[in-house]
Amino acid sequence: MERLLRIWIDAGHGGKDPGAVANGLLEKVLVLLMQVYLIDYLKSSYKGFVVEATRTTDVFETLDKRADRANTWDADVFMSLHINAGGGTGYESFIYTKASSGSISLQQIVNEEALAVAKKYGLDAHGGTPAKRGNLAVIRETNMPAILMETAYIDSKDAALLKDDSFLRDMAEAYARGIAKFLGLQPKVIENPRQGVAGVSTYIDNQPPQKFRLETGNFKTEEEAEEALNKLKQKYLWIIRREGKKLVTGTWTDAAVVQKYKTEWKQTYKWWVYIKEA
């Protein structure tokens, strides 16, 4: 059986290390959200790979452990997600000072995807060029092609973009496309897609359809969560339940349907809402 390609995503900072902080934003939170979008897009759009992440919750991991784990897992590509600070503006990415040809190629491909999206939002490359090099631990100590992303500046006018969920998602998806192009991943091909109550799609490769659900962030109290649950039950007929201080839905097989309701919830209720693979 052919070996699946291995992708390692590293959401920077976490736990006791918030990363950059400004304008009511935390780097460690933003990159974790972008990681969700990136991985969701990979899984819904491509096949022939597996993906691992340094962290999926708010925990701290040392720089050397991040690289060690990716090396031990024998990843084929490593991407570290970050948000910039220092009063500048723009998108940029870093590879190691003495980068391999693989890392150079990875950066070229990812930058092409990312900058095209950034410019749609009026964001250009920081300093006039997106391709930077640096002696940064996670891209120095990893054995595979590796890149570190600096999406935008948290402490400048860029913060307005970082508060825009569409921008975060679009940039994360651009990163995913860059990884996919670099690795030569094959897209999932849909045959005779049919839209039913749950939005079912039939795949040529006969893989069972992925299932997705919505999950809110934690409300301050269980009482607030219960009040929010009652609001939703009055409007929607599908399954929604409370798990402690958060709300969780039933599942769909169409990622577009899930995204529609996620956007609707965020715009209507101003909640943190996440798409989860069930």
Is residue 39 predicted with pLDDT exceeding 70?
yes
SS3 string, 106-132, reads HHHHHHHHHHHHHHHCCCCEHHHCCEE
Q: What share of the chain in percent tops pLDDT 70?
A: 90
Q: How far is CA 209 from CA 37, 226, 250, 252, 255, in A?
A: 18, 31, 15, 9, 10
Q: What share of the chain in percent tops pLDDT 90?
A: 66
Q: How far is CA 216 from CA 198, 262, 276, in A?
A: 20, 9, 10
> What is the average pLDDT across 46-59?
94
The distance from CA 255 to its chain's CA centroid, rounded to whole angstroms, is 15
In terms of pLDDT, which residue wins out, 254 or 29? Answer: 29
> Catalytic annotation on 150?
yes
Is residue 238 predicted with pLDDT exceeding 90?
no
Please pick, among 92, 113, 150, 173, the residue that the annotation labels catalytic: 150
Is residue 204 predicted with pLDDT exceeding 50?
no
| Distance (Å, whole) CA 238 – CA 77 | 39
| Average pLDDT of the residues of the chain | 89
| Residue 91, both tokens | 């998108």
Is residue 86 predicted with pLDDT exceeding 70?
yes
| Distance (Å, whole) CA 30 – CA 82 | 8
Spell out the domain ranges in the chain: 5-187, 212-277
Q: Kindly report the CA angle at 87 between 35 and 160, in degrees rounded to 5?
A: 55
Greatest mean pLDDT among 29-38, 64-73, 258-267 lies in: 64-73
Helices (H) and strands (E) in the chain, counts: 8, 14
What pLDDT sits at residue 249? 87
Is residue 83 predicted with pLDDT exceeding 60?
yes
Is residue 77 predicted with pLDDT exceeding 70?
yes
Residue 35: its H or E element: helix 27-45
Q: How far is CA 223 from CA 220, 231, 243, 244, in A?
A: 8, 13, 12, 10
Lowest-confidence range among 112-121, 145-154, 224-233?
Answer: 224-233
For residues 198 and 254, the answer to whether their CB atoms sit within 8 Å is: yes
In terms of pLDDT, which residue wins out, 214 or 203? Answer: 214
Radius of gyration of the chain (CA): 19
Is residue 202 predicted with pLDDT exceeding 60?
no
Per-residue pLDDT tens over the stretch 98-108: 999 999 999 99
Identity of the residue numbered 103: S
In terms of pLDDT, which residue wins out, 238 or 106? Answer: 106
Residue whose entry in the numeric block shows the structure tokens 């709300």: 247
Identify the CATH homologous superfamily for domain 5-187.
Zn-dependent exopeptidases (3.40.630.40)
Question: What pTM was computed for the model?
Answer: 0.72
Confidence of residue 209 (pLDDT cuts 50, 70, 90): low
